[in-house]
């Protein structure tokens, strides 16, 4: 293990939780040192996340996913014509049309039925339901929340010929899956790094500014905003680990609390990040001075 790698893991270990011993040292450390640690840490997390995505959406799984779509399009009834005319759906069948798909498990993706009502999406347990005059979407296969929208105003016709053209497009994707993975993986990784670093850095800027004002006016401490931001690069270590961990494996535990509101994971991450930045600045400037 190279000295730089050893230094990185040593900094990571010491940055996990706010403590006066280490965070007071950060106030005397160069800003660029902390910035390099922050960039290396986020890039490492993104690499782990991309490895997870590659495993979850591997080329073989993508080929299986595309094959299911192709098979469904291949079995599209020759006598089925679906027309959206002035925000009303007209079909040539008297029974519902079902379209199945799925990346790992086969799910009911789409149901088209003129006589159905939006709430029937719960009965079908599909992602999308198209009725005579509405489009209903249920994003989560398990939860019962669904959203209903009016049909598009454009006149649309979908028949066997359209299904065949669409099938050829998916066949082209299937035949070149490995090529697309090779070409797109690196650019997506670079873009994802730039986007995630920019977003997290923006969050840290806002939180650091609020923290700076709080300690400057309430604790009457002569501290520099640049140092607060530097401390936040280290204080974000544990919140980011938790955030990425929950993105990869969402928590499956539920706690019944007498509250009339729920907290989303992004909001919980920001709250945790704010607490850790406040705590780290406190340990760096206040803890041993009381």
Q: What is the pLDDT of residues 160-200, one digit of tens each?
A: 999 999 999 999 999 999 999 999 999 999 999 999 999 99
Measure the CA–CA gap between 4 and 249, rounded to whole angstroms.
30
Q: pLDDT band at 26, cuts 50/70/90?
A: very high
Handedness of CA 259, 264, 267, 269 (dihedral sign): positive
What single DSSP character describes residue 286? T
CB 71 within 8 A of CB 25: no
Percent of the chain scoring above 70 in pLDDT: 93
Looking at residue 141, its pLDDT comes to 60
Q: Whole-structure pTM over 0.75, yes or no?
A: yes
Looking at residue 70, its pLDDT comes to 93
Measure the CA–CA gap between 280 and 27, rounded to whole angstroms.
11
Measure the CA–CA gap between 161 and 105, rounded to whole angstroms.
28
> Which distant-in-sequence residues (6+ apart) come within 8 Å of 94 by Cβ?
none
Instruction: Answer whether residue 25 shows pLDDT above 60.
Output: yes
pLDDT tens sequence across 51-93: 999 988 899 999 998 999 999 999 888 888 988 887 888 888 7
Higher pLDDT, 257 or 169: 169
Lowest mean pLDDT among 111-125, 258-272, 274-288: 258-272
Identify which of 46, 43, 20 has the alpha carbon closest to the alpha carbon of residue 231.
Answer: 20
Measure the CA–CA gap between 279 and 49, rounded to whole angstroms.
28
Q: pLDDT band at 142, cuts 50/70/90?
A: low
Instruction: Answer whether residue 253 shows pLDDT above 80.
Output: no
């Amino acid at each position: 293990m190279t000295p730089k790698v050893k230094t990185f893991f040593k900094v990571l270990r010491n940055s996990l939780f706010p403590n006066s011993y280490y965070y007071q040292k950060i106030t005397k450390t160069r800003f660029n040192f902390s910035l390099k640690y922050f960039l290396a840490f986020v890039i490492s997390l993104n690499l782990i996340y991309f490895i997870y995505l590659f495993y979850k959406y591997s080329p073989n799984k993508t080929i299986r996913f595309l094959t299911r779509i192709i098979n469904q399009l291949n079995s599209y009834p020759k006598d089925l014509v679906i027309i959206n005319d002035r925000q009303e759906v007209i079909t040539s069948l008297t029974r519902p049309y079902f379209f199945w798909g799925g990346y790992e498990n086969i799910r009911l993706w789409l149901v088209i039925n003129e006589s159905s009502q939006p709430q029937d999406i719960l009965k079908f347990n599909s992602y999308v339901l198209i009725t005579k005059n509405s489009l209903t979407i249920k994003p989560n296969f398990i939860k019962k929340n669904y959203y209903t929208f009016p049909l598009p105003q454009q006149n649309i016709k979908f028949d066997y010929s359209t299904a065949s053209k669409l099938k050829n497009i998916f066949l082209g994707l299937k035949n070149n899956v490995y090529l697309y993975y090779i070409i797109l993986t690196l650019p997506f990784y670079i873009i994802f790094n730039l986007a995630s670093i920019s977003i997290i850095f923006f969050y840290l800027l806002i939180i650091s500014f609020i923290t700076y004002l709080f300690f400057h006016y309430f604790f009457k401490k002569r501290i520099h905003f640049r140092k607060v931001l530097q401390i936040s690069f280290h204080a974000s270590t544990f919140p980011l680990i938790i955030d990425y961990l929950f993105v990869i494996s969402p928590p499956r535990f539920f706690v019944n609390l007498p509250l009339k509101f729920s907290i989303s994971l992004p909001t919980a991450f920001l709250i945790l990040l704010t607490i850790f930045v406040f705590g780290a600045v406190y340990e760096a400037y206040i803890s041993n001075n009381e």
